[in-house]
Copies of this chain bind each other. A is one copy, B any other.
């Protein structure tokens, strides 16, 4: 395909006419497709139905140390579940606390705790005139929603395929003690699917922030969510690296089984240093007597160990890999060479990131919506929902069926074409 920017007015008009025809066909189809959120599809959920049998009425609901999982207590979570999640997170089970069903909730509570009580004896953030967070962009809208909710000022940090701009981060955190944290999705990032390079992780571990209560919020949501068996991204384990360079308390690391078993009924976890854990436990024990241990045990009995979990993740991959590949191939076929957009081809995670020409994203999402395909709102991947170039769109290919997804991807490319071509024609006139 020829670059749009090298086409004549006539060629652009002809392309537009074709794209409009295609779009109208979709309008007649009365589609109702949702590509807005990173939701597993039904076949993925079916993979975990065996978990419903892993505890029945004859089961012994005591854990290995004899604790009756049905009763109160065990604030950190049961040992065997911490071992399993430890293997999943590549962390020592002793450095892990298990929580309820939502790692987002754990992150929210972590910020909330810092607001009302401060981190490790430092001033509570609610008593400070200004608190700032660094936000690699594009990023995860729900992260940004939490910091916005607490009135924390967000500073966008540009992402590249090796991770966020480390020069900028190092400079900012060393100069400004009102910067208290950074949101990271370090592996198969949301939405680009990028994984931080070894250098990026090493530089993160070596940060020397001005604020003693600066923490990296390391949301390793997709740690084992590979699409391929051999061609996988590898991420240096951050807590170990932090410990090695004498910076042990720098990171709160989060993960969950939400996209491994059931999104609403998994186990969330935090791994961090013993000092941080002690700080957190002092607060956590006021908040609850303990989380759902029966569900922890259910997960352990279902998976057995990390090998069981890894085998399980291969089944997920088999279901969703064709979806990622279908989107990428339709994008390539319809937009390749036109310059109307760039997109990522991640090796894991839940998203593809699409960048249109500047000023087109909102219109593309609106056009898709009008033809029955819901995408994540344009701008959502930026703090305050403000994408300054109005170009980034997050594509979530997992939830629709492969058939529906192909329709949606094709429609999407038509929307991209129409919006882009109209813009170029306007600019030319």
Interface residues of A, Cβ cutoff 8 Å to B: 37, 39-40, 42, 45, 48-53, 55-59, 61, 68-74, 100-102, 104-105, 108-109, 112, 115-117, 124, 126-127, 142, 145-146, 149-150, 258, 262-265, 283, 286-295
> Is the beta-carbon distance between A265 and B292 smaller than 8 angstroms?
yes
A42 contact set on B, CB distance < 8 A = 68
* A263 contact from B59, B70, B264, B283, Cβ within 8 A: B70
Bound complex: CA A79 to CA B146 (Å): 27
A55 contact set on B, CB distance < 8 A = 52
> Is the beta-carbon distance between B265 and A70 smaller than 8 angstroms?
yes
> Is the beta-carbon distance between A112 and B105 smaller than 8 angstroms?
no
- Known contacts A70-B263, A70-B264; 16 additional CB pairs below 8 A are A37-B72, A45-B61, A71-B262, A72-B264, A100-B292, A101-B291, A102-B288, A105-B288, A108-B287, A115-B116, A116-B116, A145-B286, A262-B294, A264-B289, A264-B291, A264-B292
Bound complex: CA A73 to CA B68 (Å): 30
* A289 contact from B68, B74, B104, Cβ within 8 A: B104
> Is the beta-carbon distance between A288 and B108 smaller than 8 angstroms?
yes
Bound complex: CA A294 to CA B286 (Å): 27
In whole Å, how far is A310's beta carbon from the nearest beta carbon of chain B? Answer: 21
Bound complex: CA A208 to CA B398 (Å): 53
30 contacts between A and B (CB under 8 A): A37-B72, A39-B72, A45-B71, A49-B57, A51-B57, A52-B55, A52-B56, A52-B57, A53-B56, A70-B263, A70-B265, A71-B263, A73-B264, A74-B264, A100-B100, A100-B101, A100-B291, A100-B292, A104-B288, A105-B287, A108-B287, A112-B116, A115-B115, A145-B286, A146-B286, A262-B294, A265-B293, A265-B294, A265-B295, A292-B295
A288 contact set on B, CB distance < 8 A = 102, 104-105, 108
A70 in contact with B262 given A57-B49, A288-B104, A289-B104 (CB within 8 Å): yes
Bound complex: CA A105 to CA B100 (Å): 11
> Is the beta-carbon distance between A286 and B149 smaller than 8 angstroms?
yes
Bound complex: CA A209 to CA B150 (Å): 28
In whole Å, how far is A193's beta carbon from the nearest beta carbon of chain B? Answer: 20
Interface centre among A53, A55, A61, A264 (most CB of B within 10 A): A264
User: 9 tightest A-B contacts by CB?
Assistant: A265-B294, A70-B262, A49-B57, A72-B263, A105-B288, A45-B70, A108-B287, A149-B286, A102-B288
* A126 contact from B45, B126, B264, B290, Cβ within 8 A: B126
A57 in contact with B50 given A108-B287, A112-B112 (CB within 8 Å): yes
> Is the beta-carbon distance between A292 and B292 smaller than 8 angstroms?
yes
Bound complex: CA A290 to CA B73 (Å): 23
In whole Å, how far is A304's beta carbon from the nearest beta carbon of chain B? Answer: 16
In whole Å, how far is A284's beta carbon from the nearest beta carbon of chain B? Answer: 10
A101 contact set on B, CB distance < 8 A = 100, 291-292
A56 contact set on B, CB distance < 8 A = 52-53, 56
> Is the beta-carbon distance between B116 and A289 smaller than 8 angstroms?
no
A150 in contact with B116 given A37-B72, A45-B70, A45-B71 (CB within 8 Å): yes
Give the nearest-CB partner of A50 in chain B. Answer: B57
In whole Å, how far is A109's beta carbon from the nearest beta carbon of chain B? Answer: 8
Bound complex: CA A52 to CA B55 (Å): 6
> Is the beta-carbon distance between A287 and B70 smaller than 8 angstroms?
no
> Is the beta-carbon distance between B264 and A294 smaller than 8 angstroms?
yes
Give the nearest-CB partner of A115 in chain B. Answer: B116
In whole Å, how far is A416's beta carbon from the nearest beta carbon of chain B? Answer: 27
